[in-house]
Amino acid sequence: MNDNSEIIKSLQADIEELQMRVVFQEDTVQSLNDIIARQDRQLSDLIDRVNFLAEKYKGGSSDAGFSDVSSEDERPPHY
């Protein structure tokens, strides 16, 4: 009978350890899910910005602050 009670105590300890691991893993999964959701929003924002800049650049290079004249062809401001 003593062996059975020791086995039961050992099994209960193993179950408690497994339960603690599950709780830790659930917390980790939730944290990772929050991070992925935040990064997805950031990625969508960045894609929107890149698309906006690409359209702005295509729409007119002078509007975007770009010039068709290369910097080699421009005269320095002191001329």
What pLDDT, in 10s, does the model give residues 2-28? 889 999 999 999 999 999 999 999 999
Residue 24: other Cβ atoms inside 10 A: 10
The answer to whether the beta carbons of residues 69 and 76 sit under 8 Å apart is no
Indicate the pTM of the whole model. Answer: 0.58
- Residue 5 CA, chain-centre distance (Å), reads 50
DSSP three-state, residue 71? coil
The answer to whether the beta carbons of residues 29 and 37 sit under 8 Å apart is no
The answer to whether the beta carbons of residues 35 and 41 sit under 8 Å apart is no
| Rounded-to-integer distance, Cα 79 and Cα 69, Å | 17
